[in-house]
Structure 1
């Protein structure tokens, strides 16, 4: 009987102690107000303003050469081939062991 009461008391103390630590622990998450520093916020604001204003001020550019236009299409094809290429995960994992 005494052993059962002792276990109950220890269990209740553990639960209360756990609750105390949860209440007294400081919050480790960063608050949204200090996510960006003032310098980085001003830099982002300047970049946004320049992207909005510069196209209105600058003269239009001539079109790029046609061979340069094939570069993004080639990159897209290579990425698609790599994305759908089958691989055996067991061989990949065993090569790093």
Structure 2
């Protein structure tokens, strides 16, 4: 009673994975990004850590 189920989304995922394996050797190497752009993920992560640890300004509604 085993049915082989292969959905369209699974097919798209397999094609995407295959393209990730095949395309890098075919494409020319890209130049490195500007130095300022390298700090964007660091700034975003710093902001998220800052937001995680600041106290909430919501009043408590405990009875």
Q: TM-score, normalised by structure 1?
A: 0.52
Aligned residues: 58
2:8 aligned residue: 39
Measure the CA separation in 1 of the matches of 2:57 and 2:29: 50
Match of 1:87 among 56, 60, 63: 56
Match of 1:58 among 21, 24, 27: 27
In terms of fraction of residues, the more helix-rich structure is 1
1:76 aligned residue: 45
CA deviations on 1:49-77 (whole Å, 9 max, x unpaired) are: 11111112111100001111111111011
Structure number with larger C-alpha Rg: 1
Report the aligned-residue RMSD: 2.1
Runs of 4+ in 1 over 4 A off after TM superposition: none
Measure the CA separation in 2 of the matches of 1:53 and 1:71: 29
Measure the CA separation in 2 of the matches of 1:44 and 1:53: 14
For structure 2, list consecutive stretches of 5 or more residues without a partner in the other structure: none
